[in-house]
Amino acid sequence: MKDVFKQLIIDFHARTLPRPVKRQIKLPVFPASIRKAIVFIGMRRSGKTWILYQTMHDLINQGTPLKKMLYIDFSDDRLANLEAKDWQLLLDAYFELYPELIHDPDLHFFLDEIHDAPA
């Protein structure tokens, strides 16, 4: 499974990021010392994935390199056999690809369709 995660990460970093139509959305701002997760919930086809892409573009425009972002779409067929015990392998795969980032506090993980992943 780690090799699958690595390939998904490599594929994400190699492709052109889709450019969404800019929406007026303001995410909450927290002090840098607070590590947080922001969750988007809503009806199907309401634009949640596009908000993720917009957020990634905003980060890039603020100077964050793409390699400091991880995007995984859990509806990808390559993750069909994912088990709860495999969650650590996602982090292992990312940090094997980017070992210089292991202590970087400015990483952004975008987990799309996470309800398809096992708990």
Q: Where are the domains of the chain?
A: 2-16+34-116
0.95 surpassed by pTM: no
- C-alpha to C-alpha distance for 38 and 113, rounded to whole angstroms: 14
φ and ψ of 54, to 5 deg: -60, -40
Give per-residue pLDDT as tens, 13-60.
999 999 878 878 777 777 878 778 888 888 888 888 999 999 999 999
Neighbours of 71 (CB within 10 A): 21
What is the structure's pLDDT at 70?
A: 96
Q: How confident is the model at residue 118 (pLDDT cuts 50, 70, 90)?
A: confident
